[in-house]
Structure 1
């Protein structure tokens, strides 16, 4: 396996060199054609036991989970969700064996699996912690295992693109649980370390999990050839757009064959930018929405109890220690607590404070090198540290088991980031708890926060309402407000000056 690495910034486009893969064969978008299927459609036969279920049971499942399937054809609507692992299509028993640790498919898995097994392009819109990795991962592995074509060196069959190194690691770890029993080579590619080991891993990898910048880098210097990719996943698509990766993604996808490629996109929100991205890369996709109609508005997991405490900024650290004492003291097995700060200097200060109070604490933020971040994260996952202090680098995608409590010491820059922060708890069907400190400095975001609380049927404190319920225009961390509302019909005021 390739050595895990790091990516922080999009790389510059460099002149295309001759691919190492081209040294083995002159591949020009699969012109040899041998063994290639000109369609991304796959054979999928619905289990007889699933077909025999009463329609009322299927309808109840869709209603209970607020599931909407949108398709231009009737094909998707005729495919029943896979409500039990027993209904999975016939395949390699070794591939399905790791599923024994789960009670049943999640909503997003149940609905998207038959579509993906059938070879359809799919857009999945669901809350964080809903099991999206396995939703796109299992069909990917099955497709590669059953492929009869011999794969050429440096020509992966599947590519999964994610916005951050942490999420890429998480996806890689999930795939490895299945790859070990299915003999499929998987490697994880992201920036921050040397490329030599990654180039070696790319020679034999059938599945590449990568961040956009490093993958584009290796593509540009000829270390990987993507012209044989048959399964493409864009995970956390909205986040990749926020981070400015749209052009990188376009450059990466350009050599991939359109007619034989199955494309999957998963996202937590569905703004116009993500819709445009889907329209450019996908062929008649089926849209699956879990938890309500897709929109740009952030939605919080309803299983998370959200508590907002309005206080003076000078009281935050004392209140934090009170909450940690209540959570950590007097128990031989204290619960895991994730503490969010806005800036890395603040995170370092809060981590030192918590350590002086005797708690087992670790931290992840931008000032730490790659190995320190991995070590601290692993310490929290294993329980060696029961408190993890993080900046928003940990808010998206990280699946840390059994986080019981999230504490937001400083409110994030956007309400969307708030939703993703608290989504680190209440994962995989469990209940969660989030406590957020809110000060007068955060009042511009009070309206959006109130909407999130109301949508999730949470209590809205009166002290929060006093800041107002108006939703401000979305802010970009580099460019500020996207636009300003003005009355274009209003006449300008004439200004006169005394002589």
Structure 2
């Protein structure tokens, strides 16, 4: 019997299969767009806010040193009062009961975030950035139908350290607790089992990059519906230490245009701006303070003192400073001592403790329980001195840090600015003392620039090390690398007779 060469009614040609697959893909894309549209619901400005004179709002922006750069020129008005938020459930305003008004970064960012825009927020630490991105996040997810909540991550917030992740999680829980949403904090140093379980239902994931990527690879963290993505301390998240980890995470979320991407940071150096642009779509940039560019600059409320010392006398000088600033201070005042390496931090902590001071330590070699206990004692004031590596340099909200002492200078001047930013918070004055040695001379030029920009005294001994700013080395080619990407000169064709 001769086989028929024509396809049967139950079979599809290759062209028909391709059409079917294409149609299915369109449905998936439409559904993803619907999820994003539902989660980012349209922002309707409060009528009372609309009625305010434009001059009054312009004065508010000027008084608070708010600079807004919007490529779409949408001209949304800052939400200067909590009652202007598009929130009908009074329970959601409960976390703000003790605050008179939104902070500048919250007031300026909220309307754009509620409208679904990508946003870069640049403001000093302690300025309310966490609630700045948390309020629109919770509102967007709360607007989803109930059957779409508690079904896995709709938002992901990535932080560089465990401590900062936990701090953000604690703030976000104040909002989720009153609206029936679930959040999970994912970080290393603790067992994964509980995190795996919570990820099944959590609407919001707050995480450090390493542990989150582990759980993504294992199949326990599905971010395919996480249409709200936040990089906290974005400048740190986009540097060469975290860039690859961040790319992996963002690549598992919805594509650009189908997600809302936020980057909040205290500094916005040129080195990360181009990279950030690859993750965002026409972002609104909001800068708070008299530094709208976001370039590296120290808080002018912090008095910076630099002492050039012999490396062998560093710990002895540290002890003198602790005696000077611990004697007769209020019980709530705290002193934060920074070291460069984990072993150094352990040694300095033992040295200080042996001289009769109440001191704790925080660094990467400690368990999460030990780190949490040390940080909690420092915050409460029961342990007035904390010795730390740079895990405590960024974003941590520790009130009443009277003095920051750099026992050892960090590897970069960016980390120096973040270290000293632990004092002088919430409008208060602060003091930062740095013990600088000949081993740190490669950073002298950059440090001198920071001191001069903040109108601080530059000691003559520091000037002797030189004012040249060392160029950052390339990952592969070191200091001999030359970036030729911006060279205007092009090759010329030569024709021979």
Q: Same fold (TM over 0.5)?
A: yes
Q: What residue is the counterpart of 1:131 in the other structure?
A: 128
- Distance in 1 (CA, whole Å) between partners of 2:207 and 2:274 is 22
Q: Distance in 2 between matches of 1:139 and 1:479?
A: 43
Stretches of structure 2 lacking an aligned partner (at least 5 in a row) = 1-24, 485-497
Query: Which SS does the other structure have where 1:435 is aligned?
Result: strand
1:51 is aligned to 2:50: yes
Shift in Å at residue 479 of structure 1?
A: 7.9
3-state SS in 1 of match to 2:177: helix
Question: 1:374 is matched with which residue?
Answer: 372
Counterpart of 1:67 in structure 2 is 66
* Distance across 2 between alignment mates of 1:385 and 1:477: 40
How far off is 1:456 after superposition?
Answer: 1.8
Which of these residues, 302, 305, 308, is aligned with residue 307 of structure 1?
305
* Aligned 1:55-454 pairs, distance under 5 A: 55-75=54-74, 78-148=75-145, 150-151=147-148, 155-242=152-239, 244-258=241-255, 259-292=257-290, 297-331=295-329, 333=331, 335-454=333-452
TM superposition shift of 1:147:
2.0
Matches of 1:485 and 1:117, distance apart in 2: 39
How far the C-alpha of 1:405 sits from its partner, in A, is 1.3
8 Å contact from structure 2 (residues 412, 443) kept in 1: yes
Higher RCO (CA-CA < 8 Å; seq separation 6+): 1
- Assess if the C-alpha contact under 8 Å between 1:155 and 1:227 holds in 2: no
User: Tell me, what secondary structure is at the counterpart of 2:238?
Assistant: helix
Greater shift in the superposed pair: 176-185 or 333-342: 176-185
Flag the 1:299–1:482 CA change in 2: closer, same or farther, 3 A: farther
User: Aligned partners of 1:479 and 1:323: how far apart in 2?
Assistant: 42
Checking the alignment, whether the CA contact within 8 Å between 1:113 and 1:135 is kept in structure 2 is yes
CA drift of 1:81 comes to 1.7
Structure 1 residues 484 and 118: CA distance shift in structure 2, 3 A: closer
Pairwise CA distance, 1:440: 2.5
Gap runs ≥5 in structure 1: 1-25, 487-499
Tell me the SS of whatever aligns to 2:178.
helix
The CA deviation at 1:210 is 0.9
Give the C-alpha shift of residue 355 in structure 1.
1.0
TM-score normalised per structure 1: 0.84
Separation in 2 of the partners of 1:29 and 1:325?
65
1: CA distance between counterparts of 2:477 and 2:334? 36
The CA deviation string for residues 288-339 of structure 1, in whole angstroms up to 9 with x for no partner, is: 1223556584111122222222222233222222222222223561511100
Deviation of 1:85 after TM superposition, in Å, equals 2.5
Partner of 1:471: 469
Tell me: CA distance 1:312–1:484, structure 2 relative to 1, closer, same or farther (3 Å): farther
Q: Separation in 2 of the partners of 1:118 and 1:482?
A: 46
Tell me the distance in 2 between the aligned counterparts of 1:450 and 1:129: 26
- The alpha-carbon distance between structure 1 residues 451 and 103, as it changes in their structure 2 partners (threshold 3 A), is farther
1:203-226, Cα deviation, whole Å (9 max, x unpaired): 221100011222122122221221
- The 3 A distance-change label for structure 1 pair 448 and 364 is same
C-alpha spacing 1:50/1:431, structure 2 compared with 1 (3 Å): farther
SS at match of 2:71: coil
Contact 1:29–1:255 (Cα < 8 Å) also in 2: no
Q: Is the 8 A contact 1:473 1:483 kept in 2?
A: no
User: C-alpha separation between the residues in 1 aligned to 2:112 and 2:341?
Assistant: 42
* Residue deviations 1:2-57 (CA, integer Å, cap 9, x gap): xxxxxxxxxxxxxxxxxxxxxxxx9x956656963547753223333433444333
Assess if the C-alpha contact under 8 Å between 1:185 and 1:205 holds in 2. yes
Q: Contact 2:405–2:432 (CA<8 Å) still a contact in 1?
A: yes
Decide whether aligned partners of structure 1 residues 305 and 201 sit closer, same or farther in structure 2, where only a CA change above 3 A counts: same
Residues of 2 paired with 1:444 and 1:87: CA distance?
Answer: 51
Moved over 6 A (4+): 476-479
* Aligned mates of 2:178, 2:150 — CA distance in 1: 22
Q: Deviations over 1:465-491 (max 9, x none)?
A: 2322222213589986474799xxxxx
Q: Relative to 1, partners in 2 of residues 1:317 and 1:251: Cα closer, same or farther, differing over 3 Å?
A: closer
- Structure whose alpha-carbon radius of gyration is higher: 2
Select between 300-309 and 383-392 the one with higher mean Cα deviation. Answer: 300-309
How many residues align? The count is: 459
